[in-house]
């Protein structure tokens, strides 16, 4: 019975992960075009300024399938690896992780109001008022 329940849980988790299709969004005042390599550098703290010299403000979701799918698709890390990476960066004094939000609505609101902000939402979420990179 436990094996059946565990198998069913794994199928549900895999299905919910597969539904998440994250897109990177950024404030309209940013003129840069993004690519996957640049997104990865931003979220790993290796790129902190846009081409015009303005500060990049990366933001993230605290958790969830969109967060996990974003990390997998763009950062090439799972949630645990990403958290461990940032703990090491903080401990060594080399940076701070992206500001995290509990909901997509909070994250989107922050990006739409903050110059230089970049984040991600599910592709099904409205992106009106910001630029998008898939």
Question: Is 53 inside a domain boundary?
Answer: yes
Q: Which of 72, 53, 75 is nearest to 64 (CA)?
A: 72
pLDDT score recorded for residue 9: 44
User: Which CATH number belongs to the domain containing residue 40 in this structure?
Assistant: 3.40.190.10
Q: Tell me the average confidence (pLDDT) per consecutive run of 10 residues in the chain, 134 residues long.
A: 48 48 78 83 95 93 96 96 97 96 94 91 80 70
Give pTM, 2 decimals. 0.80
Is the Cβ–Cβ distance between 25 and 120 less than 8 Å?
A: yes
Question: Is 123 inside a domain boundary?
Answer: yes
Q: Which of 17, 55, 22, 59 is nearest to 133 (CA)?
A: 22
Number of domains in the chain: 1
């Amino acid at each position: 019975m436990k094996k059946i329940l565990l198998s069913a849980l794994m199928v549900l988790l895999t299905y919910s992960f597969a539904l998440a299709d994250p897109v990177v969004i950024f404030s309209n005042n940013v003129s840069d075009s993004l690519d996957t390599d640049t997104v990865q550098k931003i979220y790993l703290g290796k790129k902190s300024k846009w081409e015009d010299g303005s500060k990049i403000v990366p933001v993230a979701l605290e958790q969830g399938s969109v967060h996990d799918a974003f990390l997998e698709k763009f950062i090439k890390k799972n949630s645990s690896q990403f958290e461990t990476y940032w703990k090491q960066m903080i401990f060594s004094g080399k940076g701070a992780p992206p500001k995290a939000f509990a909901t997509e609505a909070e994250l989107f609101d922050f990006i739409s109001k903050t110059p230089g902000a970049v984040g991600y939402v599910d592709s099904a979420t409205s992106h009106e008022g910001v630029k998008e990179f898939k």
